[in-house]
Structure 1
Amino acid sequence: MGDQPLRVLACGDVEGRLNALFSRVQAIQKKMGQFDMLLCVGEFFGVTPEAEAEWQLYKTGAKKAPVHTYILGAASQETVRNFSTSDGCELAENITYLGRRGVFTGASGLQIAYVSGREALQEPAPAHFFTSKDLSALVTSLTSNSKFRGVDILLTSQWPRGVWQYASTPEVNTKSCGSSSISSLADKLKPRYHFAALEGAHYERLPYRNHVVLQENAQHVSRFIALATVNNPAKKKYLYAFNIVPMKNLDPAELVKQPQDVTENPYRHAAQDKTHAQKTAFSTAEEEPAHQFFFDLSRNQGGASRGRGRKRLSDGDGRSRDQQHGGDRHHEHKQPRRHPQPTGPCWFCLASPQVEKHLVVSIGTHVRSHR
């Protein structure tokens, strides 16, 4: 796909409101065209009889998600029953559970790291919690590569604690909100986009640097976006749309361009407190390897479209088994290099009932280019 940007939707806690979510997505796609994927953070399943009834329609195939949907695991004991394994699997057509933690990579090269659940305060941890070993394994699997520069997207259910440093204060209880371990994870993985939920709030932080000015080589910026609950009565934003060209396909000079509103790294501020750093640091010594899966997100697949989104375990050398034993299947002819197309955060408010009108009026003047 070269420099062709992917069109991605991100969503906060669904809590079983599948019909409301997918109806909204269908309306958006009818106006704007097909999106490549929908990424859901926070609680996907609900606990009410109505939520269970809706899920059964998708599970049995009576209804189908209108876009390839990737979800995180349970964040509460009540929803654990919806996940029969900690490994990722397809739960229904077009709805895939990513797993406890790991990395998946599309045919385009888009790399997404993910961690399900909440931070465990002790071990052994229940199924809806993650541990320091989970985070260590995830970090090691990525940073052990000498060419590692960061990931395109990081998905966590919990917020990173202190992300609001050097930026506006979100409408949450900052004394108890978030996980320090997630902050450390985000600092190490340097995601271009980091999505989280669980707090019922919408918060888009200013982009922040991943380097110290005049002391380190310039690196790309990171953006943190927290999303609210689907169909929340306060009409807080729960859907976010953006275009993204995978990092591996971007010219390095384009990748590290700094927007005017960039701030310092909020997590390094917290790390200056040695006591805090000791509490939040987790070892990156060799642990159980994080799961790495490869997804074919190419648009031009012809009759193979039903196979898109099914996991193929990596054999350890960065290629899927399909790529090793059928290399021509994913071969892409080289095209003349084009300038990367603009990527950036939400260019229209998806939670607004007036989204279509707004787009018609201002789509030509309100698109911002972000790297």
Structure 2
Amino acid sequence: MSEKQKTLICGDVNGRFTALFSRAESIIKKSGAFDVLLCAGNFFGEDNSQLDAYKMGTRKVPVPTYVFGPTNPEHVAYYCEEGGEIAPNIIYMGRRGLFTTSSEIKIAYLSGLSRRELGKEVPMCMFEPSDCLAVRDACLRGQSEFRGVDVLITNLWPAGVQQDDLQKVEVPQTHLSDLVAWLAIHVKPRYHFVPSLDKFFERQPYRNQSVHQDYKECATRFIALAPVGNKEKEKWIYACSLQSITKMRMTDLLQATTDETACPYKQELLMQHHPGKVVQVTGNGQYFFNMDADNNDDYGNRKRKGSDNRERKKIEYDPETCWFCLSSSSVEKHLVISVGSHCYLALPKGPLTPFHCLILPIAHHQSIVKSPDEVANEIKKYKEALKKFYASMGMGVVFYERNYRTSHMQIQCIPVPRICESQILEVFQDEAGINRIQLEVLPPFSELAQVILPGSPYFHAELPSGDQIYAKTKGSFPLQFGRDVLSSPPILNCEDKADWKQCLLNREEEDTHVALFRKKFQPYDFAAEADSDSD
């Protein structure tokens, strides 16, 4: 029998820290030590003075406590950096993600509210469809047979879960989310915890659905916890002992209970794998996408010329406003590392590693397939220089280009440890399988232009092994596909950086990265040598 994890979960704390940790202490005295305490709702409140004693050490937090993102914009200032300690033994986990405990319990989480409920743009307090997709992909990554996760924590309730003939519960429309329902039906949690505005609610277990009608999935227990220390004395803390879903026997996972119900979510949600076309808007302003709709609108601003005419209006790009044309006033020139005759190197926004860079054409070219020979040749020169540069640090390199929803070509250059080089192709193939992407290996001595027509969308990568892989993207394609693969545990092990927006640097950090890169890259920079010769 595998080791089980003793877990406590609470609802909205709202600044009642003494009540929370005193109750945790009493449970520990009665039932023995617990491994973790998960705070499913708002941690801070209007008065947070009780936390001072825990910060100063006059009171101690009795169990490692994990806190997730805020829903109130006024509370943002109270949070530290993701992974940091708010106080000793109180860790802030961020607003979305997946983490695995020492007992191999997988805990997925998505905090925040909808844009409409917030009424304004507060990134730390809200989530988008892309956040749901990122959490789903993190849960599925690297698993050929996905059973589900052990715990899912969200601020909003999944729409449909409240519709139970045997148990009536009133939930404001603004606290119901179709996106959370989509996430829940895809990640199949054994336990799904949410905060409740007032009353405790435990739904009868429901059996998850499968895309295969003859395949049985695990069951989910949905539990809504009342606010900590509420006057009505509704249950606000829940204790359970969990064994990792990956180590449970299938007979135990599939065992039915007498009060089990059918899945409360629509079967169609399982068919919606990637963002595409909006097909449903709910009362709280959240929306879904349908991949199967006859609408390949890559940029979102193309218009049909008529109801029966599928011809699309050609997008015209203005180099003056392009973020990557070096002559544009929009380009952030402080990120530039090296400038050649036709191309340049730059630090990307939200780099995966300190030596992650981009190769970009100086003029406006959309893809390597459509670039003139002089541009393509200089790209090859930069690639060879970077290979030598990364090799000097004992690293290999992955180059990839996503010619989908891009107007200016960008070739991502990411150094990777030599020890993982043999696994990279396999991880790309696994991720492609999860996303139902047909990934192919380019035949030896072939060029991408031989298999891709100019103007066609594609994903292309060159691996340290010398293999080149590509996919002809149709409909919708996961925009972070390359980063999802390279940030995974077998390669760079930094899944929190899969979305570049979650690891943005400030201007001072960017300047430091660029200065260090320029200094170390200088011996390999043929562009700098050319400048020196001309002088």
CA deviation profile, 1:162-220 (whole Å, cap 9, x unmatched): 20224444443454432111111111110000000152221100000113699231111
Question: Kindly tell me: are residues 59 and 216 of structure 1, through their superposed partners in 2, closer, same or farther at Cα, counting changes over 3 Å?
Answer: farther
Q: Distance in 2 between matches of 1:269 and 1:68?
A: 38
Q: Distance in 1 between matches of 2:74 and 2:166?
A: 34
Q: Distance in 1 between matches of 2:171 and 2:164?
A: 17
Question: Kindly tell me: are residues 287 and 60 of structure 1, through their superposed partners in 2, closer, same or farther at Cα, counting changes over 3 Å?
Answer: farther
Residues 1:201 and 2:206 are matched in the alignment: no
Q: 4+ runs of 1 displaced by more than 3 Å?
A: 121-126, 166-171, 173-177, 269-272, 274-280, 282-285, 318-321
Instruction: List aligned pairs for 1:208-357, cutoff 5 A.
Output: 208-211=206-209, 215-268=213-266, 278-279=280-281, 280-282=287-289, 285-288=477-480, 316-317=489-490
Correspondence for 2:357: none
Q: Distance in 2 between matches of 1:277 and 1:183?
A: 15
Letter in 2 for 1:286: P
Deviation at 1:84, TM superposition (A): 3.6
Correspondence for 1:92: 87
Q: Is the 8 A contact 1:203 1:227 kept in 2?
A: yes
- Structure with more contact order per residue of length (Cα contacts < 8 Å, sep ≥ 6): 1
Question: Kindly tell me: are residues 318 and 14 of structure 1, through their superposed partners in 2, closer, same or farther at Cα, counting changes over 3 Å?
Answer: farther
Correspondence for 2:376: none
Q: Is the 8 A contact 1:167 1:205 kept in 2?
A: no
Q: Distance in 2 between matches of 1:225 and 1:277?
A: 29
Quick one: percent identity of the two aligned structures?
37
RMSD (Å), alpha carbons: 3.2
Question: How many residues align structurally?
Answer: 295
Deviation at 1:134, TM superposition (A): 1.0
Correspondence for 1:303: none
Correspondence for 1:152: 150
CA deviation profile, 1:30-87 (whole Å, cap 9, x unmatched): 1111111111111111112xxx2111222233322101111111111121111244x3
Correspondence for 1:25: 24
TM-score (norm 1): 0.71
Correspondence for 1:45: 44
Question: Kindly tell me: are residues 286 and 204 of structure 1, through their superposed partners in 2, closer, same or farther at Cα, counting changes over 3 Å?
Answer: same
TM-score (norm 2): 0.50
Unaligned runs of 5+ in 1: 293-313, 322-371
Instruction: List aligned pairs for 1:39-78, cutoff 5 A.
Output: 39-48=38-47, 52-78=48-74
Q: Is the 8 A contact 1:72 1:157 kept in 2?
A: no
Where 2:192 maps in the other structure, the secondary structure is strand
Q: Distance in 2 between matches of 1:188 and 1:213?
A: 10
Which residue among 133, 136, 145 is the counterpart of 2:133? 136
Q: Distance in 2 between matches of 1:256 and 1:55?
A: 43
Letter in 2 for 1:24: R
Where 2:157 maps in the other structure, the secondary structure is coil
Letter in 2 for 1:160: P
Correspondence for 2:498: none
Deviation at 1:119, TM superposition (A): 2.3
Q: Is the 8 A contact 2:13 2:41 kept in 1?
A: yes
Instruction: List aligned pairs for 1:102-113, cutoff 5 A.
Output: 102-113=97-108
CA deviation profile, 1:117-167 (whole Å, cap 9, x unmatched): 112349954321111111111112223432222111001111112202244
Unaligned runs of 5+ in 2: 282-286, 292-434, 436-476, 495-535
